[in-house]
Structure 1
Amino acid sequence: MYRRISHCYFRCGHEDQLCSLFALIGIFVSRVKLWGDRLLQFSSGDVHVRFCHRSSLILCIVSRSYEQLDEQLNILFDQIVSTLSRSQLDIVYKKKGDNYDLRRLLRGTDKYIDSSVSAWRSDISLLQSAIRILPMSSTDREYLSSTMISCLTASKFDGVLFGLIIAHRQVAALVRLKKYILHPRDTHILLNLISGNSSLRITEAQTWTPICLPNFNDRGFIYAYISFPWEESAACLILLSVKKDHFDLLNEVKKRIVEKIESNSKFFSSFQSCIDSPVAFSISQVCPINLHVMIPLLFALSFRIPLVSREERNDTRRLYERITHLVREEPHMRCLFVRRNQDNILVWVTDKFELQCVFSPLTSAVTATALVDRLLKTLKYHEQRYFILHTPSF
């Protein structure tokens, strides 16, 4: 939605049915603005309405839970900026006025915004502004990274910032130019670009597209070279450059990377196995009575009985939203154990990690602490398989 009660995107319902709602929200916003203030939120019963004022846009979310609403709106705004950039938004409204229909510039991008919204529901790493890592042996991951670095370095041209290999919305390898960092939220924008456009997943097809990464530079564009080099494989290579004429050069780099990967038959077989049949970390052997565990920056979740229904998984997802909200609201909290009728919850926050676990309601605090200690020791032993501890640079 933007200033003059118009809208540029809505998730549910039909436009003609929602016009009166947009008008009502616009009246609320305008009335508070006349008072010299800014409307941020209001609630009615268990319905919570949250606003986010960014540039000329007013983002609005209606939810039955109040946790993480700002984070969801920020992610949505980042997705819009990835198409237009902050500078373009400012210029458009300066030249065209507040009544300009932004949908003209956002035409065809609903699928990416939908992908972003859907990812919030399905990919719990977004709660923590984290990314999921594809499980892989440390030697294989190091070989992938070193291959990308050697091929990019050998090309001897400036402008390339990042190189990624991803699959299943997980990062297999990431390399970067020295002094530059790829923010996890920007990584999710790239993941949404891939998952929201099936035409990109054509084997041997190369795509060259401008994209704004708001947490890197929200005022300008960089250029993404995207390729799925192997037939019937989910592996995707992404190379990011600041120069718009780098397509042919990066296409040659891609060929060298693919050639070097395929020349090592032992590695290539292991790599394809990791892509085709990824093996996630299982907590059942470490914590046989544990139900569920989530560590930010980790790879995935480990579900086991009795979290078998969609409703139970959604309840657990909402529980993590509440826990994350609590941790953010109480930054000095380090350890918390909560007993509930259906489960017990252990939260442990340190300077290095944040651990959130859901246990059986019969599990005591002492037992839960002992199991978590075993879990952390096991993860420490296998950390290079499930984490990217440092990002190689070139």
Structure 2
Amino acid sequence: MVFNTTSFKDGTEHWIPLCFPKFDPKGFTYCYVTFISESTAIILISTDKNTFFEMKQMKQKIVNDFNVHDILNTIKFATETSYTTSDTNAPYLYHFIYKSRDDIQFTMPQWKTSENILQKQKIMKVYHILHSLTQKKSYSKLQFISNKNYIAIAWITSTFEFFTVAKPEITKQHLIKNVNSVLKWIKKEEYRLFIKNGTTF
């Protein structure tokens, strides 16, 4: 949400009330959000709506520590070394989204530089269709849709949700093989991709 909302990147500080049902279904949690570089944001959370200035001071202390220990460059390197579908040994996939239901977190590969905004919007539209199919009262755990431009799959289990859009020439059997390759890679990299054993909201 933060990185896809342009108003957060205006160089100012934001104080946002949010409800996290698993944390406090009857109240709000307050988020202090500010970007300290183009790709790095500091998000501080409080249950007290009157702690904006305390959060502001804490942010400044964090920034000072980052500068002293040159941490921003490390963060920048980490954000620039995200993965692509090629890293997962799934050559036929345009893109995918994997949600860990246990961790309540998701991961997806970096968009390919060759993909323009229109291509990304088309893929996101397919994801929307797939997701809507999984919200029906009676749905198959494995959903396929396709046309001349793509073949796509939604796979829902008790531990994960997986959505992908692939090249149209791939067969269902090869698509499943590519998906299993991604799942195996995610399992191997899960401690890098997800915050494990953390508090969930």
Question: Could you say if the C-alpha distance between residues 332 and 221 of structure 1 is closer, same or farther in structure 2, counting changes exceeding 3 Å?
Answer: closer
Q: Provide the C-alpha distance between the structure 2 equivalents of 1:291 and 1:198, rounded to a whole number of angstroms.
A: 28
Displacement of 1:391 after TM fit? 2.7
Q: Deviations over 1:97-137 (max 9, x none)?
A: xxxxxxxxxxxxxxxxxxxxxxxxxxxxxxxxxx6xxxxxx
Question: Could you say if the C-alpha distance between residues 325 and 242 of structure 1 is closer, same or farther in structure 2, counting changes exceeding 3 Å?
Answer: same
What one-letter code is carried by the residue in structure 2 that aligns with 1:280?
A: S
Question: Could you say if the C-alpha distance between residues 198 and 345 of structure 1 is closer, same or farther in structure 2, counting changes exceeding 3 Å?
Answer: closer
Cα pair 2:166 2:175 within 8 Å, conserved = yes
Question: Could you say if the C-alpha distance between residues 326 and 262 of structure 1 is closer, same or farther in structure 2, counting changes exceeding 3 Å?
Answer: same
1:273 equivalent to 2:84? Answer no
Displacement of 1:226 after TM fit? 4.0
Which structure carries more strand by proportion? 2
**Equivalence map 1:117-266=2 (5 Å):** 168-169=3-4, 192=5, 195-196=6-7, 199=10, 201-202=11-12, 207=13, 209=15, 211-215=16-20, 223-228=30-35, 230=36, 232-265=37-70
Q: Deviations over 1:171-201 (max 9, x none)?
A: xxxxxxxxxxxxxxxxxxxxx4xx32555x1
Q: Provide the C-alpha distance between the structure 2 equivalents of 1:316 and 1:392, rounded to a whole number of angstroms.
A: 31
What one-letter code is carried by the residue in structure 1 that aligns with 2:93?
A: N
Cα pair 2:144 2:153 within 8 Å, conserved = yes
Identity %: 18
Provide the TM-score with structure 2 as the length reference.
0.72
What one-letter code is carried by the residue in structure 2 that aligns with 1:365?
A: K
Q: Provide the C-alpha distance between the structure 2 equivalents of 1:365 and 1:320, rounded to a whole number of angstroms.
A: 18
- Residue of structure 2 equivalent to 1:356: 163
Q: Provide the C-alpha distance between the structure 1 equivalents of 2:169 and 2:14, rounded to a whole number of angstroms.
A: 55
Cα pair 1:293 1:302 within 8 Å, conserved = no
SS, match of residue 323 in structure 1: helix
- Residue of structure 2 equivalent to 1:324: 131
Displacement of 1:350 after TM fit? 0.7
Question: Could you say if the C-alpha distance between residues 339 and 245 of structure 1 is closer, same or farther in structure 2, counting changes exceeding 3 Å?
Answer: closer
What one-letter code is carried by the residue in structure 2 that aligns with 1:384?
A: Y
Structure 1 stretches of 5 or more lacking a match? Answer: 1-130, 132-165, 170-191
SS, match of residue 288 in structure 1: coil
SS, match of residue 143 in structure 2: strand
- Residue of structure 1 equivalent to 2:102: none
Cα pair 2:31 2:44 within 8 Å, conserved = yes
What one-letter code is carried by the residue in structure 2 that aligns with 1:349?
A: I
Question: Could you say if the C-alpha distance between residues 366 and 248 of structure 1 is closer, same or farther in structure 2, counting changes exceeding 3 Å?
Answer: closer
Which structure carries more helix by proportion? 1
Cα pair 1:294 1:355 within 8 Å, conserved = yes
Q: Provide the C-alpha distance between the structure 2 equivalents of 1:246 and 1:391, rounded to a whole number of angstroms.
A: 24
1:347 equivalent to 2:154? Answer yes
Cα pair 1:212 1:220 within 8 Å, conserved = no
Displacement of 1:353 after TM fit? 1.1
Displacement of 1:318 after TM fit? 2.0
- Residue of structure 1 equivalent to 2:143: 336
Cα pair 2:144 2:151 within 8 Å, conserved = yes
Q: Provide the C-alpha distance between the structure 1 equivalents of 2:59 and 2:116, rounded to a whole number of angstroms.
A: 43
Q: Provide the C-alpha distance between the structure 2 equivalents of 1:208 and 1:304, rounded to a whole number of angstroms.
A: 31
Cα pair 2:130 2:143 within 8 Å, conserved = no
Q: Deviations over 1:234-261 (max 9, x none)?
A: 4222323343543443344334433444
What one-letter code is carried by the residue in structure 1 that aligns with 2:77?
A: S
- Residue of structure 2 equivalent to 1:315: 122
Question: Could you say if the C-alpha distance between residues 263 and 374 of structure 1 is closer, same or farther in structure 2, counting changes exceeding 3 Å?
Answer: same
Q: Provide the C-alpha distance between the structure 1 equivalents of 2:178 and 2:14, rounded to a whole number of angstroms.
A: 48
Structure 2 stretches of 5 or more lacking a match? Answer: 100-104
- The total of aligned residue pairs comes to 192
- Residue of structure 2 equivalent to 1:375: 182
Structure with larger Rg: 1
Cα pair 2:34 2:41 within 8 Å, conserved = yes
Question: Could you say if the C-alpha distance between residues 347 and 241 of structure 1 is closer, same or farther in structure 2, counting changes exceeding 3 Å?
Answer: closer
Displacement of 1:324 after TM fit? 0.6
1:289 equivalent to 2:97? Answer no
What one-letter code is carried by the residue in structure 2 that aligns with 1:250?
A: M
What one-letter code is carried by the residue in structure 2 that aligns with 1:362?
A: E
SS, match of residue 321 in structure 1: helix
Cα pair 1:338 1:344 within 8 Å, conserved = yes
Cα pair 1:208 1:247 within 8 Å, conserved = no
Question: Could you say if the C-alpha distance between residues 301 and 330 of structure 1 is closer, same or farther in structure 2, counting changes exceeding 3 Å?
Answer: farther
SS, match of residue 212 in structure 1: strand
Question: Could you say if the C-alpha distance between residues 364 and 391 of structure 1 is closer, same or farther in structure 2, counting changes exceeding 3 Å?
Answer: same
